[in-house]
Amino acid sequence: MHTVELGLDTFGDITIGEDGQRVSDAQTIRDIVDQAVLADQVGLSFFGVGEHHRHEFAVSSPELVLAAAAARTEQIHLGTAVTVLSSDDPVRVYERFATLDALSHGRAEVILGRGSFIESFPLFGYDLSDYEVLFEEKLDLFSQLMAEKPVTWQGTTRASLTDADVFPKTESGLTAWVGVGGSPESVVRTARYGYGLMLAIIGGSAERFRPYVDLYHRSLDSFGRDRMPVGVHSPGHIADTDAQAWEELYPAMEANRNAIGAERGWPPYSRLQFQHDVGPEGAIYAGSPETVARKIAATVATLGADRFDLKYANGTLSHGKMLRSIELYGTKVLPLVHDLLASA
């Protein structure tokens, strides 16, 4: 039987309360911690918080939010979705996550990536023309730091290191992934450094990502690496019925897509597009527990995935609706997915 872990991701989207008013950044952050607590209580495996530096999202320092969640949870693993390594310093990233690992008793994970937004580059003094080399060099340095031994390293994007050590030390090492959007070069690089592969599937069918999974496994073999996990990150929402889930999610998704699309030249989001996205060939996992479970199980079987992370926070969706979605995800979807995979 193929087993799979189910997790959750949030970017800390600024929400609209039940009274129709915009929730403050501060309240959004406090709500995220409550959401992580519920995710732990209903038996989910992972809770990820993304890093952004935009007005739509409240979280620019996910490690602090995760540390607060660590103090109130017991079993769930806590990590990022993603940490924008290109515009951060690998030494500081490693030390922050080693600290989170201590506070959570070994439950910290880091998902490294280049991010889907560019605001952090000018904010922290980086040139976008160095987009590729920044990630390549910093991932190389981070990989050496993972050994938790003195590091000697030289590159072009930060000061060199000579026999430098990092603190604190973890008790059992740190779990790390690389988030990939669909570039073959990124898949091969992830295998070369021996990280888990987290596929961000936010458009189209999961089936079209199967060649990337196969490439990843072949690359691991060619580099002499042990088998590493494959994960999937996709948006979605769960309610008692399909109609309820779709009616709750569409306005929030429309606001989110149109705000970003205005910057990127996308056409306005529509009901027709939404209905395609929540269908079998789309990348949104929204509906009743049964509908979402069937779609997740199909994706897991198609890709041989070890973990599925649902991006449950989407646009202006309210805190109360997200809590209900999390509850159904853990109590209904999780056992249904396991049953479907076992019967298959």
Per-residue pLDDT tens digits for 156-174: 999 999 999 999 999 999 9
Q: Give yes or no for a contact between 339 and 18, defined as CB atoms under 8 angstroms apart.
A: no
Q: Give the residues of the chain that fall short of pLDDT 50.
A: none
Q: Taking all residues of the chain, what is their mean pLDDT, rounded to a whole number?
A: 96
What does DSSP say about strands 196-200 and 230-238: parallel, antiparallel, or unpaired?
A: parallel
How much is the pLDDT for 298?
A: 97
How much is the pLDDT for 231?
A: 98
DSSP string covering 211-223, please?
HHHHHHHHHHHHT
The domain tally of the chain equals: 1
How much is the pLDDT for 344?
A: 84
DSSP designation for 170: P
In this structure, what CATH number is given to the domain that contains residue 111? 3.20.20.30
Which stretches of the chain are DSSP H helices? Answer: 25-41, 62-70, 90-103, 120-123, 131-145, 184-193, 210-222, 242-264, 271-277, 289-303, 319-328, 334-343
Half-sphere exposure of 206 (CA within 13 A, CB side): 26
DSSP string covering 284-335, please?
-EEESHHHHHHHHHHHHHHHT-SEEEEE---TT--HHHHHHHHHHIIIIIHH
> Of 314, 306, 307, 325, whose CA–CA distance to 284 is shortest?
314
How much is the pLDDT for 244?
A: 98
How much is the pLDDT for 225?
A: 97
The Cα–Cα gap between 94 and 46 comes to: 19
Domain that residue 248 falls in: 5-343
Per-residue pLDDT tens digits for 184-215: 999 999 999 999 999 999 999 999 999 999 99
How much is the pLDDT for 1?
A: 56
Looking at residue 13, its amino acid is D
